[in-house]
Structure 1
Amino acid sequence: MFRDEDLALLHRPLYAFLTVAPRGERWPSPRPVWFEVTGEGDLQMFSVPGAPKLDRLREQPRASVVVAAPVGEPEHWVAVEGAVTLHDDGGPDLAARLAERYWGTLDDSQRALIDEWRETGLVRIVLRPSAVNRYTV
C-alpha cells in the first residue's frame, strides 16, 4: 500500500499522531507516538498496559495515524487507517528499538526507562493499513 516516497518518510524518526475512537461525547484526540513499519507493511507502536487508548482499541479495534514532514521541508504527509490488533508480546523489544531510533545514543536515565518498560511490560499495537492517503509537494 505504501509508495517509495511514503516509506522514505515513514522510516524517519518522526512522530506519528495516533487517533482512536473516542468514548461518549468526546472528540477524537490524536496522541503522538513512536512507530515503525514492519516488513509486512503494518505500523507498530507500543503503550503502557493501563493506557485509556487500549481500552478504546479493545472496544473498537481500528485507528488512524498521520505522519508529516517537519516544518521547513517540502510538504509531505501520509495518513493511514485500518484495523488494530493488540499483543502482549514484543512491546519491550519494540520500545528499546524505537528508543535508539528516536533518541540515538542512550544515556543512563533512558536506559533505566527501557529497563522499567521491560519489567512492567508494554502492549504492542499493530495497525494493518486498509487505506492510505498522502500528499507530496
Structure 2
Amino acid sequence: MAPTTFTDADRALFDRRLYGLITVSPAGARLPAPRPVWFEATPDGDLQLFSLAGSLKVRRLAEDPQATFVVATPPGEPEAWVSVEADATVHDDGGRELADRLTDRYWEDEGKRAESKAIWAAEDLRRIVLRPRRVTRGPAV
C-alpha cells in the first residue's frame, strides 16, 4: 500500500518558503501543465492553497477533483522532493485568510505584503485542499 502521510522531513520541506507545483487534469487534448503556487501543510495532513474563484484550476477541479503536487529544494542544496497524488476539494470559505497567512510567509517586504493583501481583499478567493492518496519522495538512495 502506498504511503499517504507526511514524514517529519516532508513537513520540514513544506514549512520552508518554497513554491509548490500543482497539476490538474487538462481540458480536451491539452497536456498537463504544472503551475507554481504558494501553499501550506495542515495539521490534519493535507495541503492547502488558494486561487481565484474563476480560475481555470478551480473550474478543472470542479470537473475532476484530483491533482498532483510537488515541492523540491532549490538549486545549490542537496536534492530533496515530495510528490503527492491527491483528491482535491474546493472550499468557498477560508480563501482570504489563507491568502493573508501565505502572503505573510512568502513576502518578507512589508510593502509587498500590504500590496498583495489589498489585491486578495478585492478578489473572490477559493481554498483548495489536497488530501493525499499517495506520497513519494526522493532522492531514492
Instruction: Report the Cα distance in structure 2 between the residues aligned to 1:75 and 1:37, rounded to whole angstroms.
Output: 20
Q: Which runs of 5+ in 1 are unaligned?
A: none
Q: Does 1:53 align with 2:61?
A: no
User: 2:87 — aligned with what?
Assistant: 83
User: What residue identity is the alignment partner of 1:89?
Assistant: D
Percent identity between matched residues is 52
Q: Does 1:132 align with 2:132?
A: no
User: What residue identity is the alignment partner of 1:11?
Assistant: D
Matches of residues 13-28 of structure 1 in structure 2 within 5 Å? 13-28=17-32
Q: Does 1:66 align with 2:63?
A: no
User: What residue identity is the alignment partner of 1:118?
Assistant: A
Q: If the length of structure 1 is used for normalisation, what is the TM-score?
A: 0.94
Whether the aligned pair in 1 keeps the contact of 2:95 and 2:125 (CA below 8 Å) is: yes
Q: Which runs of 5+ in 2 are unaligned?
A: none
**Distance change in 2, residues 1:110/1:101 (3 Å):** closer
User: 2:99 — aligned with what?
Assistant: 95
Q: How many residues align?
A: 136
Displacement of 1:118 in angstroms is 2.0
Q: If the length of structure 2 is used for normalisation, what is the TM-score?
A: 0.92
- 1:89-120, Cα deviation, whole Å (9 max, x unpaired): 1111101110111112421x541331231232
Instruction: Report the Cα distance in structure 2 between the residues aligned to 1:110 and 1:3, rounded to whole angstroms.
Output: 31
Aligned partner of 1:104 among 105, 108, 132: 108
Displacement of 1:47 in angstroms is 0.3
Detail structure 1 runs of 4+ shifted over 4 Å in the superposition.
none
